[in-house]
Amino acid sequence: MHIGVFADIEGSFGIWRMRQCRMGTREWQYGRACLTKDVNSVIQGAFDGGAEKVTVKDTHEVGFNCLIDKVDPRAEYIGGHYIKPSLFGKITDLDLVLYVAIHAASGTEGSFFPHTHYGIFSEVRLNGKRVCEMDIYGAYLGELGIPIGFVSGEYIAVKQALEALPWAKSVIIDKRKETYTSGEKSFRYLKEGRVLLQQTAQEAVRHASQMQPLVIPGPLHFEATFRTQQLADKFNTWDFKQTGEKVEWESENMINGFEMLNKLTFFPKKIYPYRKPLTFLMRNYFRVKSTWFAPKPNPEEAAEC
């Protein structure tokens, strides 16, 4: 069994504020250490549950958040974004994905760093219903035949994910500062939490045959509302239907619909023909930058990470 451990960062144990997720900050360096520990717990659980091979896919921002030299060496690590065979790289032979450290959908009140796909959107709807990333990425992976069988993150993020993926195993993670800055109590919470990640990942892999690829039958109608009309004007270089800050498009399935979302988000029409060499350059640039030129970590008063 080949297991994919996909990593976002907002929903990690140890993370309580936005700067800890912002690339290039000293607080991010702390957040990266937190995320790497969560990822390693899930890798351990995957092997305990019967994985023969584990591949980690780093997905937050430019896709280099884990501390690569600290990732369990038994797993293969894919950093950065790709064009082919998928945005996530070569993943078509995965049997199951475990998604670590997720966050809530754009527009979710009272949640930690809520966004869907990218911070420019205040809301993304699919066939009239507000969606989170697990709906979109889950259905994209689903059309490739790959189920998501595990999620971890704050309560509301997990709740939204489980509406799309009711079969998935889950771990809920606290986002309050005092949970991580209260000495002995915090140590215990982190220690027990990471054991829970390991056990739950193990359980998900053991029950891999019960996990289902998410398929949302087409046709699909997407509505992406930008935070401002200015952003919508700037990003909609593709002449998708636009009313004020809302941009809409149709697709027959999620693979194409997601491609259109990525055109809107990352690839202006003029850049699109060069997207392959560009992503190649970006991957190498950010791999070197985040490995060799990373800032010194700011421990953030945390008991431990």
Which residue(s) pair with 56 in the sheet?
5, 77
Q: State which of residues 3, 5, 8, 151 lies at the interface with Zn ion (CB under 5 A).
A: 8
Residue 119 or 273 having the CB closest to Zn ion: 119
Residue 271: strand, helix, or coil: coil
Q: H helices of the chain, where?
A: 26-48, 133-143, 155-164, 177-180, 183-206, 229-235, 254-266, 275-292
Question: Of the listed pieces 2-10, 137-145, 258-266, 285-293, which binds Zn ion according to CB under 5 A?
Answer: 2-10
Shortest Å distance, C-beta 243 to Zn ion: 28
Residue 8 or 95 having the CB closest to Zn ion: 8
Residue 133 or 143 having the CB closest to Zn ion: 133
Residue 60 or 175 having the CB closest to Zn ion: 60
Residue nearest to Zn ion (CB): 60
Name the token pair of 267.
């690839």
Compute the residue count for the chain. 305
Question: Of the listed pieces 59-67, 198-206, 247-255, 262-270, which binds Zn ion according to CB under 5 A?
Answer: 59-67
Q: Does 263 bind Zn ion (CB under 5 A)?
A: no
Question: Of the listed pieces 6-14, 133-141, 153-161, 188-196, which binds Zn ion according to CB under 5 A?
Answer: 6-14
What is the C-alpha separation between 257 and 126, in angstroms, rounded? Answer: 10
Question: Of the listed pieces 56-64, 143-151, 177-185, 255-263, which binds Zn ion according to CB under 5 A?
Answer: 56-64
Residue 103 or 283 having the CB closest to Zn ion: 103
Q: Does 58 bind Zn ion (CB under 5 A)?
A: no
What is the C-alpha separation between 4 and 88, in angstroms, rounded? Answer: 11
Q: Does 60 bind Zn ion (CB under 5 A)?
A: yes
At 115, the amino acid letter reads: H
Segment 88 to 147, residues that bind Zn ion, using CB under 5 A: none
Site size for Zn ion (CB under 5 A): 2
Residue 8 or 143 having the CB closest to Zn ion: 8
Shortest Å distance, C-beta 65 to Zn ion: 8
Name the token pair of 171.
């771990």
Name the token pair of 21.
């997720």
User: Which residues in this chain contact Zn ion in the complex, by CB under 5 A?
Assistant: 8, 60
